[in-house]
Amino acid sequence: MLLDAQTLLDAAFAEGFELAGLTPAIPHSDHARHLDWVSRGLAADMTYLTDHRAQVRKDPRDIFPQAITMLCVGKLYNTNGPKDHTESTEHGGWISRYAWGTRDYHDVLREGLERVVARLKVQLGQPFEYRICVDTAPLLERSYARQAGLGWIGKNTCLINEPQGSWFFLAELLLPFPTTSFNSPPPDRCGTCTRCIDACPTAAIVEGPSGWELDSAKCISYWTIEAKTEASAELKQAFGNHIFGCDICQDVCPWNRRAPLSEEPAFQPANACPPLEALDEQSFRDRFRKTPVARTKASGYNRNVLVALENRRK
């Protein structure tokens, strides 16, 4: 059965995704670049990027063998909270914008794509198999999203949409049908701008063999979310009051100046600038259960709070 491309895109827009595009479910040419990035140690200790799971990223059909078409979607998470970390409350820590809400975005996006599938099943008048990927599935999400026309990959390594900016969660729906047409990548609009590179407090955006790339071992997001060990004393001084993630290279991006606001209730700001205080297990669970911040566990959160308190004393 040949699916009408516009019908697929309209289903995504109707279910609350601000971005949608279509691309073939085949290996992506960025895969070799990704493996090269990993092999040069730039993924630091993120084992889900460095171990056998990196291999699976090559072909979406390793995830869902019947896949023919990939519907790539973006859901805006920009909200009307503090503009950037310089607007933190006086004694507050900074939590990355994507984690301000009250629910884990994986659940919100998965539910949205399940509604897209339900809508398509009614329109097609038949059930079908599919696979939803939200962040955790081994796919080069940004590369496919670019291929599907959602945006270009900026020097800050984020997917940027003109005119909506880069505050997007990405997800994919793998479908077992061909479609009438695919989207194509937009032009790269970074031009001569270097704002993100200049603003990064740890110089984590580095020039690689084929363009700008992230050195995870220098990135505040890596150290405050993923790392199981402590950063060097020198690096920690640059973390400021960041206790979960870092948005600086997106905050300074001119394409985010007019980013629209999300109306999704689950993403409205509840946790932007919590007080810089260590939390016991129960208090941490009460505050961050079901939010992305839960990923650090209380132990990682408290480690980050101590670093931020130390930085505040200096």
| Residue among 44 and 248 whose Cβ is closer to ligand SF4 | 248
Q: Which of residues 71-110 bind ligand SF4 (CB under 6 A)?
A: none
Interface residue with ligand SF4 among 99, 140, 243, 246 (CB under 6 A) is 246
- Tokens describing residue 267: 């993403």
| Residue among 82 and 254 whose Cβ is closer to ligand SF4 | 254
Per rule CB under 6 A, is residue 44 in the interface with ligand SF4?
Answer: no
Binding mask 157-196 for ligand SF4 (x = CB under 6 A): ---------------------------------x--xxxx
Per rule CB under 6 A, is residue 139 in the interface with ligand SF4?
Answer: no
Per rule CB under 6 A, is residue 64 in the interface with ligand SF4?
Answer: no
Interface residue with ligand SF4 among 25, 132, 205, 227 (CB under 6 A) is 205
**Residue of 45, 59, 135, 188 with catalytic role:** 135
Q: Which of residues 216-245 bind ligand SF4 (CB under 6 A)?
A: 219-221
Interface residue with ligand SF4 among 67, 200, 243, 276 (CB under 6 A) is 200
- Judged by CB under 6 A, the number of residues near ligand SF4 is 23
- Respond yes or no: is residue 247 known to be catalytic: no
**DSSP string spanning the chain?**
-PBPHHHHHHHHHHTT-SEEEEEESS--TTHHHHHHHHHTTTTTT-HHHHSTHHHHTT-GGGT-TT--EEEEEEEE---SS-SSGGGS-TTB-EE-GGG-SSS-HHHHHHHHHHHHHHHHHHHHTS----EEE-SSSSS-HHHHHHHTTS-EE-TTSSEEBTTTBS-EEEEEEEESS-BS----PPPP--TT--HHHHH-TT--EEEETTEEEE-GGG-HHIIIII-SSPPPHHHHGGGTTEEE---HHHHT-GGGTTPPPP--GGGS-SSSS-BS----HHHHHHHHTTSGGGGGHHHHHHHHHHHHHHHHH-
Interface residue with ligand SF4 among 134, 159, 248, 270 (CB under 6 A) is 248
Per rule CB under 6 A, is residue 67 in the interface with ligand SF4?
Answer: no
Interface residue with ligand SF4 among 253, 276, 305, 308 (CB under 6 A) is 253
- Residues 256, 98, 272, CA angle at the centre, nearest 5°? 100
Interface residue with ligand SF4 among 22, 76, 252, 305 (CB under 6 A) is 252
Q: Which residue's Cβ has the minimum distance to ligand SF4? A: 154
Q: Which residues bind ligand SF4 (CB under 6 A)?
A: 154-156, 190, 193-196, 200, 202, 204-205, 214, 219-221, 246, 248-249, 252-255
Annotated active-site positions, please? Answer: 135
